[in-house]
Amino acid sequence: MKIEFQQLSRQFEDGRIVLDSINFSDEIRTLAIIGPSGGGKSTLLRILGGLLLPTSGEVFVNGSPIPQNEEQLQRYRKEIGFVFQQGGLFRHMTALENIQIPLVQVHHYSERSAKERALELLERFGLKEDSHKRPFQLSGGQQQRVAIARAIAARPRFLLLDEPTSALDPEYTTEVLDIVNELKNEGMELIIVTHEMGFARHACEKAAFLCQGRLMEYGDSHTLFTHPQTPQLEQFLGRLLEWNI
Amino acid sequence: MKKLFILGKEDRPSLPAIVCSWLLVCIFIVVFFWISLHAIQTTFDFSFIADFHIRLLKGFGMTLLLSLASFIVSLFLGVISAAGQGSRLLPIRCLCTLYVTFIRGTPLIMQIYLFFYIIGTAWGIENRFLAGVLILSIFEGAYITEILRGSLLSIDAAQLEAARAVGFTHAQTIRWVILPQLIARTLPALTGQLASIIKDSSLLSMIAVIEITQTIREITATNFRLFEGYFFLGILYLCLTLPVTLASKVLERRFRYEN
Ligand SMILES: Nc1ncnc2c1ncn2[C@@H]1O[C@H](COP(=O)(O)OP(=O)(O)O)[C@@H](O)[C@H]1O
Ligand SMILES: [Mg+2]
């Protein structure tokens, strides 16, 4: 997909500028967004997902601008899969219902085909036994796998993931990243905000470094990690490596 | 022996222990009342139940009807006032806040006299049942407002964002996310409130609504069987409130995922 930002800015009510005139244009298949906390990564992803409007500037996806009014935004969001850091599953619905109900209500599947699709995905992600459990009965890793299943159930144009493993215990991180990688290999286009540098570097073609609301670096993920151009990225990567084994 | 009555820090009581303790408590209560009543040389005479069974049945029915009607009307008032507290019209918001503060801050019996005077005299509502339902509903509505308001405010912003992310419209978000979570969160508390309504309705005897408390008052005023009358009254209220309380507990367990 082709992503384009023109002078994209976002300011919150308290006046702080979270995204500061970001310009960008490229054809993307898999992109990792990295950067320090509070750098504006989630804000950028929410704008891309049609969940938040920019204060100024424009975003184009495959040449068409992200709409401004709620009705068109709803249509836009339907075609995108979004995975949150945590708490994104509806807590009163079972794993199955979390996938099935949006398929029926939003995408007009029949009850039966929605259920079939949901069960197919749950089985694929190793959750067959857990389809009737509610989120509180699932581990963090299982919850995120359900969330991914829900996000891809209606075959979205692309997938946005906001730190899908940050709230997880380390042993669950792999099972979630494996799924994301598998989807990537099947041709799913995705943008992932992550602190898993190994995943960003090896599983994503491109990487972007977002810091203090500015897009400081962008390029092939290998190059970005091996040849950081800015002192900020160098420092950021250095900190991450400090306790590496 | 010790094991029967004293729990260790982590122990769960065993069945025989539970039975023994209940038995002990019951014996104590019975003995206590028996001695008290013996002191004033009363003998038990529950024959009034048979003698007045039609009036008692009517009174009991009235309490039931009063409570259910008040529950429905107060739910209605509670929804309106909870919505009003979130209104963008400031005067509406003030009105609802004033309502809740005043009602929750004053005793029911004062409100009964005050509103009965206003409703009865100024609005000309002579029907005591209607007046009773209105007064009780106004009172309970304030508590229901608080229950609803509390759970509305505690709906997680992340759930609403997730609803938008999956593509729900506003109406679908209300239908599929907000309402089910609101119901799950409020239903146990609302059911508990019904138990309160049943008990509070007894105060309407003050304005001579012939519900069960008033019926007993009238009967005991003629036969002087005060202990038996009020004891029987207590049993009748328990017959209503215990199942309701039980239902509330069951609902709480059913919606456990809320916690
Ligand atoms: N709704 C909001 N209102 C005000 N400030 C916000 C809001 N959302 C995010 N911010 C602020 O914007 C900054 C960037 O947030 P975010 O995009 O979540 O960063 P990141 O995901 O990179 O950690 C943070 O300082 C945060 O406090
Ligand atoms: Mg974030």
Q: Is B161 on the interface with A (CB under 8 A)?
A: yes
Assigned domain for A216 exists:
yes
Q: How far is the CA of A132 from the centre of ligand 1 (A)?
A: 35
Residue B194 to residue B191: CA distance in whole angstroms: 5
Domain at A132, CATH number? 3.40.50.300
Contact B79, B152 (CB under 8 A): no
- In this prediction, residue A134 carries a pLDDT of 92
B158 → closest Cβ in A87, A101, A105: A87
Q: Per the CB < 8 Å rule, is A91 touching B257?
A: yes
Backbone angles phi, psi at A40, to 5 degrees: 105, 10
Q: Is A135 on the interface with B (CB under 8 A)?
A: yes
Residue A221 to residue A200: CA distance in whole angstroms: 7
Assigned domain for A20 exists:
no
Q: Average the pLDDT over each of B29-38, B99-108, B191-200 and give the range with the smallest value.
A: B29-38
By most ligand atoms within 8 Å of CB, the mutation choice from A9, A17, A42, A48 for ligand 1 is A42
Tell me the chain B residues in contact with residue A74 when contact means C-beta distances shorter than 8 Å. 164, 167, 169
- At B254, is the pLDDT very low, low, confident or very high (cuts 50, 70, 90)? confident
Q: Is B144 on the interface with A (CB under 8 A)?
A: no
Chain centroid to Cα A137, Å, comes to 24
**Ligand number, closest to the Cα atom of A167:** 2
Question: How many residues are listed for chain B in this entry?
Answer: 259
Q: Is A91 on the interface with B (CB under 8 A)?
A: yes
Q: Tell me how close the Cα of B90 comes to any Cα of chain A, in angstroms.
A: 22
Assigned domain for A145 exists:
yes
| Protein residue closest via CA to atom 12 of ligand 1 | A18
Q: How far is the CA of A84 from the centre of ligand 1 (A)?
A: 14
DSSP structure string for B164-210:
HHTT--HHHHIIIIIHHHHHHHHHHHHHHHHHHHHHHGGGGGGGT--
Assigned domain for A71 exists:
yes
- At B228, is the pLDDT very low, low, confident or very high (cuts 50, 70, 90)? confident
| pTM to 2 decimal places | 0.81
Q: Determine the residue type at A160.
A: L
Q: Which CA distances in Å does A44 have to A50, A55, A65, A213? A: 10, 12, 15, 9
- In this prediction, residue A115 carries a pLDDT of 95
Q: Average the pLDDT over each of A55-59, A181-185, B44-48 and give the range with the smallest value.
A: B44-48
Residue that wins the pLDDT comparison between A33 and B126: A33
Backbone angles phi, psi at B164, to 5 degrees: -65, -40
Per-residue pLDDT of B65-115, as tens digits, reads: 999 999 999 999 999 999 999 888 999 999 999 999 999 999 999 999 998
Domain residues for A190? Answer: 26-53+63-241
- At B246, is the pLDDT very low, low, confident or very high (cuts 50, 70, 90)? very high
The gap between the terminal CA atoms of chain B, to the nearest Å, is 39
Average pLDDT for B224-228: 85
ipTM of the complex: 0.91
For residue B74, give both structure tokens: 């107060």
- In this prediction, residue A205 carries a pLDDT of 93
- In this prediction, residue A60 carries a pLDDT of 94
- In this prediction, residue A206 carries a pLDDT of 94
- In this prediction, residue A187 carries a pLDDT of 92
Per-residue pLDDT of B111-168, as tens digits, reads: 999 988 887 777 777 788 999 999 999 999 999 999 999 888 888 899 999 999 999 9
The gap between the terminal CA atoms of chain A, to the nearest Å, is 37
**Ligand number, closest to the Cα atom of A20:** 1
- In this prediction, residue A114 carries a pLDDT of 95
Closest to A79 measured CA to CA, from A156, A138, A151: A156
DSSP lists the bridge partners of residue A65 as A60
Q: Per the CB < 8 Å rule, is A91 touching B181?
A: yes
Average pLDDT for A71-87: 92
Closest to B164 measured CA to CA, from A203, A46, A54, A129: A46
- In this prediction, residue B1 carries a pLDDT of 62
Q: A213 CB less than 6 Å from ligand 1?
A: no
Q: For the range B238-241, what are the long-range contacts, defined as Cβ-Cβ under 8 Å and sequence gap of 24 or more? A: B240/B63, B240/B64, B240/B67, B240/B195, B240/B198, B241/B195, B241/B198, B241/B199
Residue A160 to residue A147: CA distance in whole angstroms: 12
A92 → closest Cβ in B165, B166, B257: B257
Specify the DSSP class assigned to residue B7. -
Q: Is A150 on the interface with B (CB under 8 A)?
A: yes
Q: Determine the residue type at B62.
A: M
The angle formed by the CA atoms of residues A165, A167 and A170, to the nearest 5 degrees, is 65
Assigned domain for A16 exists:
no
Assigned domain for A3 exists:
no
The total domain count for chain A is 1
Average pLDDT for A48-53: 94
- In this prediction, residue A165 carries a pLDDT of 92
Contact B70, B136 (CB under 8 A): yes
Q: A40 CB less than 6 Å from ligand 1?
A: yes
- At A219, is the pLDDT very low, low, confident or very high (cuts 50, 70, 90)? very high
